Structure 1
Amino acid sequence: MSRVFAKKSWQTIALLLISAIVAVAVAACSTSISGFSGGGDLAIGSKNFTEQVILGELLAQHIENQTDLKVQRRLNLGGTFICHRAIVAGQIDAYVEYTGTALSAILNKKPISNPQKVYQIVAEEYRQQFNLEVGQSLGFQNTYAIVVRNEDAQKYQLKTISDLARYAPEWEAGFGYEFISREDGFPGLSDTYNLKFSSSPEIMDLGLMYRALVNNKVDAIAANSTDGLIETLNLVVLEDDKKYFPPYEAIPVIRQETLEKYPELAEVIGQISGNISAAEMRQLNYQVDGEFRKVKNVVAEFLAEKNFGQ
Structure 2
Amino acid sequence: MKRKPFLVQMLLVIILLLSIASCASPTDSGNSGGGGNLVIGAKSFTEQDILGELLAQQIEAKTDLKVVRRLQLGDTLVCHNALLSGQIDLYPEYTGTAFSTILKQKTLGDVKEVYRQVKEGYAQQFNLAVMPPLGFQNTFAMIVRGDVARSLNLKTLSQAAQYVPQWQAGFGYEFTERQEYANMVKTYDFKFTKAPRLMNLGLLYRALLQKQVDLVAGNSTDGQITRSDFVILQDDRQAFPPYEAAAIVREATLQKYPQVRTALEQLAGKVSPDEMQHLNYLVEGELRDIKEVVQTFLKSKNL
Q: TM-score range by the shorter chain?
A: 0.7 to 0.9
Q: 2:269 corresponds to which letter in structure 1? A: G
Write the mapping of 1:264-283 to structure 2, written as runs, cut at 5 A.
Answer: 264-283=259-278
- Closer/same/farther in 2, CA of residues 105 and 179 from structure 1, 3 Å limit: farther
1:298 aligns with 2:298: no
Q: CA deviation at 1:135?
A: 0.6
Secondary structure of the structure 2 residue equivalent to 1:166 = coil
Amino acid at match of 1:68: D
In structure 1, runs of 5+ residues without a counterpart are 1-32
Post-superposition offset of 1:239: 1.7
Among candidates 92, 99, 106, match of residue 103 of structure 1: 99
Distance 1:174 1:262, change over 3 A: farther
Residues 57, 299 of structure 1: 8 Å contact kept: yes
> What whole-Å deviation, never above 9, does each CA across 1:155-205 have from its counterpart, x for those lacking one?
55543223333333454433346644443x211111111224322552533
Q: Closer, same or farther in 2 for the Cα pair 1:76/1:179, shift >3 Å?
A: farther
Separation in 2 of the partners of 1:75 and 1:61? Answer: 14
Q: Which residue of 2 aligns with 1:5?
A: none
Residue 209 (1) aligns with residue 211 (2): no
Cα distance in 1 for partners of 2:177, 2:87 equals: 26
Counterparts of 2:268 and 2:195, CA distance in 1: 42
* Match in the other structure for 2:116: 120
- Paired residue for 1:49? 45
Structure-1 residue corresponding to 2:85: 89
For the pair 1:59 / 2:30, whether they are aligned, the reply is no
CA–CA distance in structure 2, aligned partners of residues 180 and 73 of structure 1:
34
Contact 1:174 1:204 in 2 (8 A): no
Post-superposition shift, 1:273? Answer: 1.4
| Aligned-pair CA distance for 1:57 | 0.6
Aligned to 2:163, what secondary structure does the other structure show? helix
For the structure 1 residues 76 and 222, does the alpha-carbon distance in structure 2 shift closer, same or farther, using more than 3 Å as the test? farther
Question: Partner of 1:222 in structure 2?
Answer: 217
CA displacement 1:234-285 (0-9 Å, x = unmatched): 1111121223223322111111232233232111111211222223223222
CA distance in 2, matches of 1:89, 1:180: 33
In structure 1, what is the equivalent of residue 128 of structure 2? Answer: 132
User: Given the alignment, which residue of 159, 166, 182 partners 1:163?
Assistant: 159
The one-letter code sitting in structure 2 at the alignment partner of 1:50 is: T
Deviation at 1:230, TM superposition (A): 0.9
Q: Secondary structure at the match of 2:162?
A: helix
In the TM superposition, what whole-angstrom CA distance separates every residue of 1:125-155 from its partner, at most 9, and x where no partner exists? 1112222110111122233210122233345
Offset, 1:225: 1.8
Distance 1:48-1:219 versus aligned 2 partners, 3 A rule: farther
Letter in 2 for 1:110: K
| Alignment TM-score, normalising by the size of structure 2 | 0.79
Conservation of the 8 A alpha-carbon contact between 1:105 and 1:182: no
Q: Is the 8 A contact 1:103 1:122 kept in 2?
A: yes
- % identity of equivalent residues: 51
Structure 2 counterpart of 1:30: none
Could you tell me how far 1:71 is from its partner in structure 2? 1.7
Q: Normalization by structure 1: what TM-score?
A: 0.78
* One-letter identity of the residue aligned with 1:141: Q
SS at match of 2:133: coil
Which residue identity is paired with 2:49? Answer: V
Secondary structure of the equivalent of 1:112?
Answer: coil
SS state at 1:64 partner:
helix
Q: Is the 8 A contact 2:145 2:209 kept in 1?
A: yes
Which of 223, 232, 235 aligns to 2:227? It is 232
